[in-house]
Amino acid sequence: MLQSLRQATNKDTAAVQALVFGVLEEYGLKADPENTDADLSDVEASYWRAGGCFDVLTDPEGGVLGTVALFRVNPTTCELRKMYLVREERGKGLGRLLLEHAIQRAAELGFNRIVLETASVLGEAISLYEKRGFRRYNPSHMAARCDAAYYLDLSA
């Protein structure tokens, strides 16, 4: 099946929330639409207008198969967020495609470092991050559902 990657808009809100919240539930993680996941209610303001990006991977009919976002932390650092795929599309190399896309976009947007927070139950994602060179670190604060943090310096 051919997929395409495009910029998400607020018209995608329901589909994006359904995908993200569904994947979280699959892994026994709790969605938090009032706090951690509040950014999904307005991706245009939370990401695009704030200096980051939010993209969706779609099927030929426009259905959302995956998501990947970069949240601007400061002028040199962005946070990789909301990188999820529907179950049927996992194991096909699309996670790697989303990650490489995010790294390329981060560089294009002028960021020098990507950080991310994740839950250890998301083992496939962690393996992908580590294979790509992300390094573990201990931030001063993490989202409630996360127990691991990683960074990747783009200038290295």
**Which DSSP helix (H) or strand (E) runs through 58?**
strand 53-58
Mean pLDDT of the chain: 93
Q: How far is it, in rounded angstroms, from Cα 57 to Cα 68?
A: 8
pTM value is 0.93
Cβ-contact 6, 55 below 8 angstroms: yes
Provide mean pLDDT across the span 106-132. 94
Task: Give the homologous superfamily in CATH for domain 4-153.
Answer: Gcn5-related N-acetyltransferase (GNAT) (3.40.630.30)
Q: How far is it, in rounded angstroms, from Cα 43 to Cα 57?
A: 15
Residue 80's nearest CA partner among 154, 12, 17, 1 is: 154
Q: Does position 1 have pLDDT exceeding 80, yes or no? A: no
Cβ-contact 55, 7 below 8 angstroms: yes
Domain map (residue ranges) of the chain: 4-153
Q: Does position 129 have pLDDT exceeding 90, yes or no? A: yes
pLDDT in tens, 40-91: 999 999 999 999 999 999 999 999 999 999 999 999 999 999 999 999 999 9
The residue ranking higher by pLDDT, 82 or 142, is 82
Provide mean pLDDT across the span 5-30. 95
Q: Does position 156 have pLDDT exceeding 80, yes or no? A: no
